Amino acid sequence: MASEKEMTLLEHIGELKDRLIVCAVAVLITTAIAFVFSFDLIRFLLVPSGQTQLTTLNPTENFATVFRVCLYAGVALAMPVILYQIYAYVAPALLPKEKRFVLTIGPFVLLLFVAGMAFCYYLLLPQALGFLLAFGGGVFDNQLRATEYLQFVTTFILAMGIVFETPAIIFALVKVRVLQRSWLVKQRRYVFLLSFLVAAVITPTPDPFNQLLVAIPMYLLWEFGLLLSRAA
């Protein structure tokens, strides 16, 4: 029995290694694809700032910045493959109804993530960058450095993509009985306050308008999650 358990463990480790290799190959391929369109991608990320060029301060910064952006894009493009490999690895341990639940909610999770990134890119970033770049315009000459600007933009977009996963997380937690919907309903006032606190932290500007642009959608996502949890 002990040797059987040891063999089973080794098989699991081998399968995990194989699936990690598949994920790595997928990221490598999508990163290479992103590299072909790297400058178009950087121009796309520049649009919310209203500027057309970025400043670099050392000989390697150009290439390092392009590679970093392509790697981030590669991971994002490979996400369906990565999520499927995770599902395929844990699927043998799931009950049939649990498998159906995961397969049903998977596309919804991806859709919410993309919606959050789009919301950030098209609405939040233009407002935030407009405020930041105009602040002190009579004293400062804003020249956007490639490394800092692209890190700022990609981090903000990723953060909002994760925030938009709130309804799926609530639905999943209620579905697997980790939390009770009745208890979540009682936390409304605290969630409302927490939405504004989190918005104050992740919003890169101190003005109330941009914080409202983050806080209100966060709270509405919570309410949407409660609505979905009725069907859990």
What are the tens digits of pLDDT across the range 71-97? 989 988 998 899 889 888 888 877 888
Confidence of residue 19 (pLDDT cuts 50, 70, 90): very high
Q: Is the pLDDT of residue 150 over 50?
A: yes
Structure tokens, 174:
């209620």
Which residues does residue 145 pair with via DSSP β-bridges, in sequence order? Answer: 55
Distances (CA, A) of 86 to 82, 135, 208: 6, 45, 40
Under DSSP, is residue 51 helix (H, G, I), strand (E, B) or coil? Answer: coil
Give the distance, in angstroms, between the CA of residue 183 and the centroid of all CA atoms in the same chain: 27
d(CA 10, CA 98): 25
Is the model's pTM score more than 0.85?
no
Question: pLDDT above 90 covers what percent of the chain?
Answer: 37
Q: Is 136 exposed, middle or buried (0-12, 13-18, 19+ CB in 10 A)?
A: exposed
pLDDT value, residue 155:
84
pLDDT at 232: 67
Q: Strand (E) positions, 36-140?
A: none
Per-residue pLDDT tens digits for 168-212: 889 888 887 888 889 998 999 999 999 999 888 877 667 777 788
User: Domain boundaries in the chain?
Assistant: 2-164
Between CA 99 and CA 102, with CA 101 as vertex, the angle to 5 degrees is 65
